[in-house]
Structure 1
């Protein structure tokens, strides 16, 4: 199982009135991690879009353990939790500089044709990508 890592420096604009990272910001950090994972595996989401496909989120779960504050650095760890050839579940851990897990989560995605927003078989439309996901997903 391959785990990608991306660092995020907490910006002041990401904090709320309590001076901690606003809870919704972690979804953006998940996207940073997912994009890094896709690049690390040799693919490019922008190329998927140019080919007429997008991969919307169909479900997302986040669990908050510890807050981040302005000036800290977060490390987003991302992996393929599961992959069916139609849906992909990405797993996430966001850790602080001490290595403490502060946020965990999962997002579920499918691939759809941009014009119709109808789901397609990832395995059929992106066979190389599918093959790598099968190889690198979390063992059952």
Structure 2
């Protein structure tokens, strides 16, 4: 399975009064990782949106094991956990510079028409993405 890792530098604005990353920021980091994964496959969300399509989150979960702290480098690793041509589940792991596992999670997505939110098939609308996802799951 293909995995892509993106570096995140913890910024002061992402932390709470205790100097640890506020929990909701990991969801933003998941998006950063997901974007990096898609770009590593040779695609980008901008092209999808230009085609009148968006990819909303339908479900998301995160499990917190250890806090990330201000000033430390972190890394979000992303992969396609499950894909059926219509729905995609991305998996995530966030680690720090000491390779300590901080957060794991996943997010579920579909693609929809931007104007009506009517669901579309990735397999039919973006056959290149479809093939790339199948290949990434086998690597």
* TM-score, length basis structure 1: 0.97
> Which residue does the alignment assign to 2:98?
98
Task: Give deviations 1:103-138, integer Å, cap 9, x for gaps.
Answer: 000000000000100111110000010011011126
Equivalents in 2 of 1:90, 1:19: separation in Å? 28
Task: Give deviations 1:46-65, integer Å, cap 9, x for gaps.
Answer: 11001100000000010000
Structure 1 residues not aligned, in runs of 5+: none
CA-based RMSD: 1.0
Equivalents in 2 of 1:116, 1:22: separation in Å? 34
* TM-score, length basis structure 2: 0.97
> Which residue does the alignment assign to 1:128?
128
Structure 2 residues not aligned, in runs of 5+: none
Change in Cα spacing, 1:138 to 1:89, as seen in structure 2 (3 Å) is: farther
Shift of 1:98: 1.1
SS of residue in 2 equivalent to 1:13: helix
Shift of 1:18: 1.8
Q: Is the CA contact 1:80–1:138 (under 8 Å) kept in the aligned structure 2?
A: no
Question: How many residue pairs get matched?
Answer: 139
